[in-house]
Amino acid sequence: MTNGNAAGTEGHLFVILGATGDLVGRKLLPSLNELIARDALGPNSLILGVGVETEFNDESFRARCCKDLANAGVPQEQIAKTVSDKRIIYQTIAKGTPEDYKKLAARVEQVEKENGLPGNRVFYLALPPKVFPLAIAGLGNAGLNKSKGWTRLVIEKPFGRDLASAQALNQVAHEHFEEKQIYRIDHYLGKETVQNLLVFRFANSLFEPQWNRDRIESVEITVAECLGVEHRAAYYEGAGALRDMIQNHLTQLLTLTAMEVPSAFQAEPIRHEKVKVLHSVLPIKSENVVLGQYSTGKIDGQEVAAYRDEPGVAKDSQTETFVAMRLEIENWRWHGVPFFLRTGKRLEQRMSQIVVNFRRPPVWIFKPFDGKPIDANALVIAIQPDEGFDLYFEIKAPGQGVQIERSDLHFRYSEKFKPLPDAYETLLLDVIHGDPTLFVSDSWVEASWQLYTPVLENKPKVLPYAAGSWGPAAADALLSDLGRTWTKIL
């Protein structure tokens, strides 16, 4: 969560393994370009793309980067600045043998010597998860885990498939890198509203005293997508929504929402409180989990195919594209307050939000005209597509008699701050500055997998739902004892 304008004049080498992959063209390169445009990387920093492709050299890789940046809508003059002066170079690791990694180490040292760099290095693994262990070992065995300056390893999600695989990956990472060198990235934590959760809670005496079981009835966390599986079937068939979204993105939002006040606004105290939340979650009951898979339907008035008809998906696939679940946090602050997590593809609208539902007044003195009880106050934290907050409360409508209507206090980041940085821009700059606050610790990732691995091992039946709906009807039953349904955009 750094806010400086420059990453220092001493410079660093930003090494991307998997440099010809989709993530680099869509996210990393445009974000690095924006940091370069703001002079946030420092004038002496270079980007070294690393891939198995042997047909690329420095010039052809720069040409590919120019094309990717143009596709991302970057103006030509800025592309020229980003790719000029040999700032971007390429090195193949061919088959990824120990000898290939030794050649990479030699190239790194050569580039640093030629450009007067002090040995500060970022190694970003933009790779398929199955090759994480090989890449980490390759870097470590080639001596790239140490340098005259600092060395940092960035690992993309998913970090493991279950508890055992996450523990094994942590073991490999710790054999070659110290934990303080490892940055497990979750781009959701780079969003301004997510970061602001801590400030919102702990810097405002209006809200923190209300943030407990006495005042809050329930909390809903939703991350909904209109898109289908798109071109990710090869990955998604082996993952599903629980691994792809619940274990990381939604659980990060859960821990930030439910954590206790940290002893300081620093990485380790914040990470410690987040892990404590996971250790307080009761084992998840199978009856509190609903899985779904989208069938045919309409999105924005257009017919879309069922998941099983998507390219690369098995015709009898039981992979879930929707998950809804109910969690209970058994600690002093949250005893008896249910937390509901929901995510899915091909849902009615794209949105990510946290809804804090406050308890209704204990005594209803205003006779309702329509026979309905008073609406409870609610705080809606919008994470996407329009980041901000809405606080809903009751007012008297003008006129005779007492007729109560709902109104809200409204805040949007885009209305006050322009432009907002992309989540990857924030996180990449934090890596360079050595700030691990918004990254996942080894204990957090293992605690999360410990919570969800039993669910993966005893999955309930996957239910169909129409594309363009809000998922299986059974998901509403999770909230039925509260007399409510899932909150949409209010």
Cα–Cα distance between 236 and 472 in angstroms, integer?
A: 20
CB 297 within 8 A of CB 321: no
Q: What are phi and psi of 161, to 5 degrees?
A: -110, -20
- ∠ CA 307-313-318, rounded to 5°: 70
The amino acid occupying position 106 is A
Go through 20-58 and write b for each residue having 16 or more CB atoms within 10 A of its CB, e for each that does not. beebbbebbbbbbbbbbeeebbbebbbbbbbbbbeebee
Residue 438 backbone phi and psi in degrees, to 5: -95, 15
Active-site residue (options: 12, 176, 187, 249): 249
Task: Confirm whether 231 is a catalytic residue.
Answer: no
439: left (phi over 0), alpha (psi -120 to 50) or beta: beta
b/e 356-370 (16+ beta carbons within 10 angstroms → b): bbbeeeeeeeeeeee
- The C-alpha angle with vertex 73 and arms to 72 and 77, in degrees rounded to 5, equals 115
What contacts 227, CB < 8 A, 6 or more positions away? 345, 346, 350
**Nearest to 188, CA basis, from 440, 436, 388:** 440
For 207: left if phi > 0, alpha if psi spans -120 to 50, otherwise beta; the answer is alpha
Tokens of 375: 């609406």
Q: Kind of pairing, strands 46-51 and 13-17?
A: parallel
The identity of residue 319, as a single letter, is T
Cα–Cα–Cα angle for 460, 463, 464, nearest 5°?
Answer: 160
Which residues have a catalytic role annotated? Answer: 249
